[in-house]
Amino acid sequence: MSDSPDSPDRPGSVAAAGMSDEAMAAATGKAGADWFELLDAAGAAEWTHPQIARWLHDEQGVPGWWSQAVTVGFEQARGRRAPGQRADGTFEVSASRTFPLEQVAALDAVIGAVSASLGRPASESRAARYQTARWALPQNVSLLATANPTNAGRTSVSLTHQRLADAAALAPAKATMQQWLATASSGAARGLG
């Protein structure tokens, strides 16, 4: 067991949910262990995910995104949810990279890299602020690319594998997505994006 305050092995840690106790405390006024103690005292171990998140938001004033993060961290710390596991029992993993490109060019570069392996996306949405492309994969799995313009002509593109059957699929899926993003970045640098 690690002595780090952010160790996923520590019962009150939120590191398993992907954030540090310091970030949690800065955003919500309490570290993960404090929230978990409060949730335990309130009987949240018997509540559903939506009930916990709603209580944190409505009764404790935790902002929406952070109420979800505290809830997931609590569920993971109490053994109710594995890292990467969604409320429906499936798993999800993401990877992202920032491109020195405008939104359309960045998404096109990623679509090109992914399409070399998976074929063209099943759908694209170019009208929204966050442009997306989605691939439908076997066994109801999907891959979502989301392009988020940042600043000065840069765009962050995230790839998310959704509805994976088990935790064993997370690491290989993440490695594949990181490779696609590296390929897209390399192609964009050579002017192919």
Mean pLDDT estimate for the chain:
88
d(CA 141, CA 121): 13
For the 91-189 domain, the top CATH level (class) is: alpha beta
19 alpha-carbon distance from chain centroid: 11
**Confidence band of 16 (pLDDT split at 50, 70, 90):** very low
* Residues contacting 34, CB < 8 A, separation 6+: 12, 25
d(CA 105, CA 169): 30
The reported pTM is 0.74
Q: Where in the chain is the domain with CATH 3.30.530.20?
A: 91-189
Mean pLDDT of 68-83: 92
Q: What pLDDT score was predicted for residue 8?
A: 37
Could you tell me whether strands 142-149 and 155-164 are parallel, antiparallel, or unpaired per DSSP bridges? Answer: antiparallel
